[in-house]
Chain A
């Protein structure tokens, strides 16, 4: 695995408090599991960034190796892997996801003064 891919991932998960590696993008997810995580984050009005692994085979393999996690989507909060679709769904339902985001100072877009529709 090339260092360049790991460097890219490291810089993305550090630059973006909520970073989602997925198939497709937030507007057009290409997989039901990716779509569900997008739906949850959107519903929570959390600002997040996505990277489409289908556009980059190096990234697709790279993200699995980087995190030692064999499936996509993968959600990172403040540089830490939170999990894939199952874990995100469970944590959303239990309220843990909201707590985790709040702990890390990630607030809903509606709570931000500069938010716009």
Chain B
């Protein structure tokens, strides 16, 4: 894909998460720079970054679901990103109730 702005992926991630999960809180960090040059990044052809992200999502949508199920929902929502060079996504997924319990 040509013509993406440096923050293109982040904007798409944010839009997809907001659309699917109506999060009470959403924090996205681009950690690509910390992984630049390692094997997976080079072979994905995405040497310019936008490969590694960490995300905190607080949403009611996770209520009653286990960890694997919550992650699967997010993976599904971001399927096209994984297919276009998103290499690693670190997820912290909480319900508002759980988030309130975090100091």
Contact = CB atoms under 8 A, between A and B. Distances in A.
Interface of A: 23, 30-33, 54, 68-71, 81-87, 90-91
Interface of B: 35, 38-40, 67-68, 71-72, 75, 79, 82, 87-92
B88 A91 contact: no
B40 A90 contact: no
B68 A87 contact: yes
B39 A30 contact: yes
At the interface, is chain B mostly helix, strand, loop or mixed? helix
Contacts of B67: 83, 87, 90-91
Contact of B82 (A33, A70, A86, A91): A70
B39 A33 contact: no
A68 B82 CA distance: 12
Nearest to A54: B39
Contacts of A33: 88, 90
A85 B54 CA distance: 12
Contacts of B91: 86
